[in-house]
Amino acid sequence: MDSLSINEKIVAAELEVDKRPTLGCQTRVTTRGEYVRKFIVDNVGKHPSDINSVTALHCKITRQAANKHLRRLVVEKALLENGKTRHKSYRLAPLFTWMRNYPITKDLAEDQIWSRDVSLALNTLPQNVQNIWHYCFTEMFNNAIDHSGGSEIFVRIAKTAATTQIMLKDNGVGIFRKIQSELGLLDERHAILELAKGKLTTDPTRHTGQGIFFSSRMVDSFDILAGGAFFTHQFGAENDWILEVPESTHGTAVFMKLNNHSSRSDAQIFRQYSSDDGYDFTKTIIPVRLAQYGEDKLISRSQAKRLLSRVDLFKVVVFDFKEVESIGQAFADEIFRVFERSHPDIELTAIHANPGIQQIIHSARNLWDT
């Protein structure tokens, strides 16, 4: 394996034991149950002997109901129990770590690795959480097999009482560099912008280009490190962003993290970016700031055209202007007059635009009537 100096630093930060709950049941997790379990795991360190009564009081449930949650967490091995009856005390279960290296051969298949190895490490998690991990792991592992050009894939799983983190690292050419080369893009940062849109693939006959987009939306945090660039997305955040790192690394490393107690489902995420009549991928949210490199201002039609690349693949396109201070009239005109007029079947929306940007967009759209 190549040196993991950068990756090990990131993994070390990711693997800090999070004092939040895990749920090992095989059914969906309710929002109320999630809240109670969060409280238990957040506070069991301070209240090892009276966590039952403290939970009942805070969550406004009976002590019997609180005890039911405690018992389940014990069965699921999220908590360890000591003593008997009135002398019982509880503490968080220890960290579990598993890792393996897989040579990339013609027989290597992501579904077999999932069923033979990875699913066994995650089989105490709730079914909805397992479904998310099944999708994310197999998509990312398959990407490494088909696109990395490397000879091996390293997998690491770290599970605490609160979260599970999975890292996949190959020793190939690097995902951003490959996208840049295959699609003739300006640089690796442009590749990250295209990844953020979704439906990006260098092999359309075999891949839909949806794997990274949906995986990044399903887990709590999703990071890709390759070359000198870092793509990251956090659940609930509207933005993806680029962090350029000073040291280059070989291959591609993908980091994914998800709370074990999450009530989220893969179906919810698919619906969020789909039309009402099915699960077809019809909506995308584009972080506009990814088109802005360094101190560059978004003023030209060329910049707008890069931002608009491939958006005609969607029915609904949301341009997120968060952290964008200003745009030029030509930039706005290219998107909200020229493109919008020539694509009346595509719904364009701007969010998080400051008043100045809103005015420029409004002016561009008003030119329709002149």
Element (H, E) at 133: helix 127-147
Tokens linked to 122: 């995650």
Task: Please provide the DSSP assignment of 138-157 as one string.
Answer: HHHHHHHHHHS--SEEEEEE
- pLDDT recorded at residue 30: 60
pLDDT surpasses 50 at 176: yes
Average pLDDT over residues 153-169: 88
Where residue 229 falls among pLDDT bands split at 50, 70, 90? confident
3-class DSSP state for residue 56?
helix
pLDDT surpasses 80 at 300: yes
Tokens linked to 218: 């399903």
Give the residue with greater pLDDT, 83 vs 245: 83
- pLDDT recorded at residue 305: 93
Q: Which residue has the tokens 């609180």?
A: 66
pLDDT surpasses 50 at 304: yes
pLDDT surpasses 60 at 252: yes
> pLDDT of 106-141, one tens digit each?
999 999 999 999 999 899 899 999 999 999 999 999
Q: How far is CA 83 from CA 49, 50, 88, 91, in A?
A: 10, 13, 4, 12
Q: How far is CA 367 from CA 268, 317, 360, in A?
A: 39, 21, 11
Mean pLDDT, the chain, rounded, equals: 81
> pLDDT of 19-33, one tens digit each?
333 333 334 446 788
Domain topology for 31-92: Arc Repressor Mutant, subunit A (1.10.10)
pLDDT surpasses 70 at 7: no
**Could you give the CA distance from residue 201 to residue 213 in angstroms, rounded to a whole number?**
11
Let me know if 41 is exposed, middle or buried by CB neighbors in 10 A (0-12, 13-18, 19+).
buried
- pLDDT recorded at residue 369: 55
CATH superfamily of the 5-16+95-270 domain? Histidine kinase-like ATPase, C-terminal domain (3.30.565.10)
Q: How far is CA 245 from CA 227, 276, 284, 297, in A?
A: 8, 41, 27, 22
- pLDDT recorded at residue 158: 87
Q: Answer yes or no: are the C-beta atoms of 233 and 242 closer than 8 Å.
A: no
Where residue 11 falls among pLDDT bands split at 50, 70, 90? very low
Give the residue with greater pLDDT, 332 vs 196: 332
Average pLDDT over residues 286-311: 87
- pLDDT recorded at residue 21: 37
Average pLDDT over residues 80-101: 84
Tally helices (H) and strands (E) across the chain: 15, 12
> pLDDT of 34-77, one tens digit each?
889 888 987 888 899 999 999 999 999 999 999 999 998 888 88
